[in-house]
Structure formats: structure tokens, C-alpha cells
């Protein structure tokens, strides 16, 4: 798994790759969550186009990122590019009713109110 956090002028983009599942990478996930909180972004775009599957650790990461952003005044969080397996997990956990999902970067930026 790999999580890259890119801060642009008005947003943070989380570029996630690989399998977000429990295992030895839990400290890595926590460090990335801490990094995101330090950046204090009020708009986050989570790019899951290269995530192959998600487990409980990935769900916890998503929930943590979502809540840390949406607690801020005007905070917004959008997930882009989730594949069928990730969407299934989001449906099972009912996160699909909370986290806005769009298919690509352009629609993600539009959902955050940012012109591409």
C-alpha cells in the first residue's frame, strides 16, 4: 500500500495505491493520518483509482480522514475512482451514504467547488 498526500493551493489530494488491508502497514497508515491532520486541509480529494481492495484498516483510514476534514468549517471530502470491490465494502459499511463518490479527478474537483 502507498498513500501520497499532495497539497495544492486549496485542497489536499490523497493518492492511494494497492491493498488497504490490515497488516504490518498499520503504523504507516497512522503516520499518514497524522500528516493529513497536520496539513489542516478543509477540502480533501481521495483518489482510489489504484486501490485494488480495502479492508478494516482502509475503512478506518477513510473514516478518520473524512471526519478530520468535515469537522472543519466548510470541510469537504470526495472519493474518486473506487472500483467495484471498494464500492461493495462502502455499501456494506454504509459509508456510501456518507462519503460522496465521483468517477474521476475532474468531477471530484467540481464536487469540491474547484475549477480544473
pLDDT digits (tens, 9 = 90+) for 66-97: 999 999 998 999 999 999 999 999 999 999 99
Q: How confident is the model at residue 116 (pLDDT cuts 50, 70, 90)?
A: low
Could you give the C-alpha distances from 5 to 16, 73, 79, 80, 98, in angstroms and in order? Answer: 9, 21, 14, 15, 22
Q: Spell out the CATH class of 2-111.
A: alpha beta
Phi/psi for 70 (5° steps) reads -75, -10
Do 54 and 20 touch, CB atoms closer than 8 A? yes
The helix/strand/coil state of 34 is helix
pLDDT at 52 over 80: yes
- Tell how far CA 28 is from the center of its chain: 15
Do 30 and 2 touch, CB atoms closer than 8 A? no
Amino acid at each position: 500500500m502507498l498513500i501520497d498526500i499532495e497539497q495544492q493551493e486549496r485542497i489536499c489530494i490523497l493518492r492511494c495505491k494497492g491493498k488497504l488491508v490490515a497488516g504490518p502497514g498499520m503504523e504507516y497508515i497512522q503516520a499518514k493520518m497524522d500528516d493529513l491532520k497536520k496539513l489542516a486541509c478543509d477540502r480533501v480529494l481521495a483518489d482510489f483509482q489504484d486501490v485494488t481492495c480495502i479492508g478494516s484498516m482502509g475503512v478506518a483510514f477513510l473514516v478518520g480522514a473524512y471526519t478530520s476534514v468535515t469537522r472543519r468549517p466548510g470541510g469537504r471530502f470526495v472519493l474518486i475512482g473506487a472500483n467495484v470491490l471498494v464500492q461493495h465494502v462502502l455499501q456494506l459499511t454504509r459509508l456510501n451514504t456518507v462519503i460522496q463518490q465521483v468517477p474521476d479527478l475532474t468531477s471530484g474537483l467540481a464536487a469540491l467547488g474547484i475549477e480544473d
